[in-house]
Amino acid sequence: MKFSISKDVLLAKLGIAVRGVSTRSAIQTLSGVLIRAGSGGVQLQATDMELGLRVDLEAATEREGTVVLPGRLLLDVVRSLPKDQVTLEHRAGDGDVEVVAGSAKFHLRTLPPEDFPNLPEAGSEPLRVPTQAFVETINRVARAASRDETRPHLTGVLVSANERELRMVATDSYRLSVKETELAEPLAGSLEVNVPARTLQELTRVAGEGGDEIEVTALENQVVFSAGGVVLSSRLVEGRFPNYRQLLPESFEHELAVSGPELLDVVRRISLLAQKNAPLRLRFEDGGVEISAQTPDVGEASESIPIPFKGEPFEIGFNPEFFREGLESAESDEITLKLISPLRPGLIQSGDFTYLVMPIRLNV
Amino acid sequence: MEEPRCIAHMDMDAFYVSVELQRRPELRGKPVVVAGSSGRAVVTTASYEARKFGIFSATPAERARRLCPDAIFIPPDFESYRARSGEVMAVVRDHVENVEQAGLDEAYLDLTGLARPKAAARRIKAEVSEATGLTCSFGIGPNKLVAKVASDAEKPDGFVVLTASEARERFAPEKPGLIPGIGPKTADRLAAKGIDTLGKLASLPEESLVEWFGGNQGPWLGRLARFEDERPVTAHRAVKSESKETTFEHDLRGFDALAPLLGDLAESLCTDLGKKDRRGRTIGIKVRLADFSIHTRARTLNDPTNDREVVRRVATELLREFDPRSPVRLLGVRVAGLDEAAPADDQLALGV
């Protein structure tokens, strides 16, 4: 293998690929980036077995071949090089790759390529979805997925697409986030997959610079996304995604129109005094809500805003972070806050976005 | 009156090896060992054939090679084990609401309130094996301790149901170390007092235990030996600390040789913490010397952190203060007192 390329191009593409490198696998090769130089150009690959990245780059290949090099180290080396052409040459006899830029010369020992897994290929007829809608929907929903690896079936986002609707759902059992995005054009096919939230967050990073469409291929237990010269593949989450519709209450006692940004400001301020697992308290009375928090030995805070509430006053507690994230993800001037009673779920709604959040039982 | 509890402990049989054997059936019936490849690696699982040679979990790989030169060594593939574990736990969660996963290959199931708990457990056992082709052992009892010890009693493919008094009787002749929680040091101290069986420990007067082990640990040991255990089955175990450690190919000597490694460990630890958005206030180091003695040092900060520079700096200070004089086999960095998503006790959850 031998090719030359501009340092800046290599650095940019390598930076993307290295995000797929495994940081703690027992298989040493997975800490590496596979570099395949072919007649059509060069491809970088990395995977931690859960997520795989393939990045194409244009380079003048002098000799074809494939090597695996330690990913982090190679990135550090390339970043440190002077702005210039870089040449990488595999020296099979020495078991290393020579990296040359100007008079700087590195010899990096290769890792065994036979341990490097084959990454799944995108299908010949992928589903094309608009990048902007896809990325925005991920950004609004994915943070509600669980990070608790002992509950793997909740670590994913249920992605469904059909006709003109793109829907994503995530829940960590304390809150549930749903967005049903209407697409400008009907899709050519349909899709329903439970994708690890981490994969989708990675996709938002690589797809940002890509074209107008993301190509999605759902395989039996893998999914492959292609966008802007980057192919991101991932295993799918095993286990059935909860039937989220039955978690949404059919009706609510109170439906309150509120200014999203105003409520969010208040929640952010008052949450400063909701430390150490202390709840954020919302006390509803005729015409207003008082939001308060109290942390023993630290202090307390409260603030009231007008709200069209009528009826028996009550107080409900929420995890400040869960409640705040719901308001942030609503991304709207006008939201509707829907409530039943202190121990029943609350709901934040704005347009096609729905966020269910479970309360904290208040002691007093 | 409260309903008596019924707890099951499910333990997969030689889990890692069994997963490997499914991929490589030609190795069935042979001594197979899953262990890392570095000179200092230890065995993570041994097949039952390999166990006949005296190879168990935590046997140094080198020693395992000497014990059974014909054993087939396979490097661990945790990604696969995690995936298979997910399949197993999915089956379990289909049947039981309250499941406490205690590792990739074991879980406690709260069967209290089920009409026929033993039948349910048998069904789960059969379904796990049907769905995954892997076998497991079940122990069932009135608490986690009885369940855990019972699941280990007739491995592999075991199914043991015991009351607390049956457990006391059955395991009375066994060594105290049989009980999880009674470690080798405690076992040695007990043996020095002539207490070399669980039966003897169970019948010791509480005063003697208090005298020897103090007012907390003493009575606790007595309760363990009598198979008394009140711990609840809790679906989520809040992880309170995370650590990274590395065992060296060759022992390292002196602060200057060790300090740079703390930077690497701190970086990898903080990367993981950052991904989970978790921070901790207590930073610690762990040092294992050439004589296998383990030393830990820790310091608690005012504010939680996952900043690798902060973690590296504090860990380096701790190492400088400890200044190990003899060669070091293993070095670790730990961040404890993690805040984050340990949900409030009164947080209500959706039934998912």
Task: Report pLDDT digits (tens) over B185-243.
Answer: 889 999 999 999 999 999 999 888 888 888 888 888 999 999 999 888 877 545 678 89
Domain range for B47 is 15-78
Any A CB within 8 A of B344 CB: yes
State whether residue B342 is helix, strand or coil.
coil
Q: Is the pLDDT of residue B39 over 70?
A: no
Chain B environment of A278 (Cβ under 8 Å): 344
Residue A136 · residue A142 · CB < 8 Å: no
Please tell me the distance from the alpha carbon of residue A182 to that of residue B256, in angstroms, as a whole number: 60
The top-level CATH class assigned to A248-360 is alpha beta
Residue B225 · residue B176 · CB < 8 Å: yes
Banded pLDDT at B344 (limits 50, 70, 90): low
pLDDT of residue A84: 83
What is the number of structural domains in chain B? 3
Which superfamily does A2-115 belong to? DNA Polymerase III, subunit A, domain 2 (3.10.150.10)
**Bridge partners, A179 (sequence order):** A168, A353
Any A CB within 8 A of B306 CB: no
B306 and B261 inside one domain: yes
Mean pLDDT computed over B314-340? 86
pLDDT of residue A50: 87
pLDDT of residue B131: 87
**Residue among B237, B347, B352 minimizing CB distance to A242:** B352
Is residue B134 situated within a structural domain?
Answer: no
Q: How many CA atoms lie within 13 A of B213 on its CB side?
A: 22
Is residue B25 situated within a structural domain?
Answer: yes
Nearest residue in chain A measured CA to CA from B105: A150
Range ranked top by mean pLDDT from A171-180, B97-106, B201-210, B312-321: A171-180
Any A CB within 8 A of B79 CB: yes
B211 and B266 inside one domain: no
Plot region of B254 (φ>0 → left; ψ -120 to 50 → alpha; else → beta): left
CATH number of the domain where residue B189 is located: 1.10.150.20
**How far from chain centre, in Å, is Cα B168?**
23
Q: Which two tokens stand for residue A98?
A: 């020579």
Instruction: Please state the pTM of the whole predicted model.
Output: 0.56
Residue B282 · residue B302 · CB < 8 Å: no
Please tell me the distance from the alpha carbon of residue A279 to that of residue A281, in angstroms, as a whole number: 6
Please tell me the distance from the alpha carbon of residue B150 to that of residue A313, in angstroms, as a whole number: 53
Helices B78-95 + B117-132 axis angle, to 10:
140
Q: Which residue has the higher pLDDT, A134 or B280?
A: A134
**Bridge partners, A65 (sequence order):** A37
pLDDT of residue B57: 83
How far does the CA of residue A65 sit from the closest CA of chain B (Å)? 27
Plot region of A300 (φ>0 → left; ψ -120 to 50 → alpha; else → beta): beta
Is residue B1 situated within a structural domain?
Answer: no
Cα A133 to Cα A91, A167, A192, A352: the distances in Å are: 46, 10, 16, 13
Reported residue count of chain A is: 364
Is residue B117 situated within a structural domain?
Answer: no
The pairing of strands B159-161 and B136-141 is parallel
B263 and B318 inside one domain: yes
Exposed, middle or buried: residue A307 (CB in 10 Å: 0-12, 13-18, 19+)? buried
Nearest residue in chain B measured CA to CA from A171: B352
B246 and B335 inside one domain: yes
CATH number of the domain where residue B311 is located: 3.30.1490.100
Banded pLDDT at B333 (limits 50, 70, 90): very high
Give kind and range of the element (H or E) at residue A259: strand A254-259
CB pairs under 8 A between A and B: 89
Rg of the Cα trace of chain A? 25
Q: Is the pLDDT of residue B294 over 90?
A: no
Q: Which residues from A are below 8 Å from B when comparing CB atoms? A: 23-27, 48-50, 147-154, 171, 173-174, 176, 198, 235, 238-240, 242, 247, 277-279, 317, 319, 343, 345, 356, 358-363
CATH number of the domain where residue B51 is located: 3.40.1170.60
* Beta carbons of B101 and A150 less than 8 Å apart: yes
* Beta carbons of B343 and A27 less than 8 Å apart: no
Which residues of B are catalytic, by number? Answer: 106
Which amino acid would we find at residue A305?
I
Mean pLDDT computed over B40-69? 89
Any A CB within 8 A of B271 CB: yes
- For chain A, which residues score pLDDT lower than 70? 23-26, 149-150, 209-210, 364
Give the residue range(s) of CATH 3.10.150.10 domains in chain A: 2-115, 127-244, 248-360
Is residue B301 situated within a structural domain?
Answer: yes
B298 and B246 inside one domain: yes
Q: Is the pLDDT of residue B341 over 50?
A: no
Q: Is the pLDDT of residue B10 over 70?
A: yes
* Beta carbons of A360 and B36 less than 8 Å apart: no
Mean pLDDT computed over B32-43? 81
Q: Nearest CA to A236 among A224, A244, A228?
A: A224
ipTM of model over 0.90:
no
Domain end marker among B197, B225, B253 = B225
pLDDT of residue B82: 82
How far does the CA of residue A285 sit from the closest CA of chain B (Å)? 23
B199 and B246 inside one domain: no
Is residue B232 situated within a structural domain?
Answer: no
Please tell me the distance from the alpha carbon of residue A290 to that of residue A281, in angstroms, as a whole number: 8
Q: Is the pLDDT of residue B351 over 60?
A: yes
Please tell me the distance from the alpha carbon of residue B123 to that of residue B73, in angstroms, as a whole number: 34
Banded pLDDT at B159 (limits 50, 70, 90): very high
Question: What does the pLDDT look like over B20-30, one tens digit per residue?
Answer: 999 888 999 99
* Beta carbons of B79 and A49 less than 8 Å apart: yes
Nearest residue in chain A measured CA to CA from B103: A150
Chain A environment of B349 (Cβ under 8 Å): 173-174, 358
Is residue B161 situated within a structural domain?
Answer: no
pLDDT of residue B236: 57
Which superfamily does A127-244 belong to? DNA Polymerase III, subunit A, domain 2 (3.10.150.10)
Q: Which two tokens stand for residue B241?
A: 């600390």
* Beta carbons of A343 and B341 less than 8 Å apart: no
Report phi then psi at A38, rounded to 5.
-125, 180
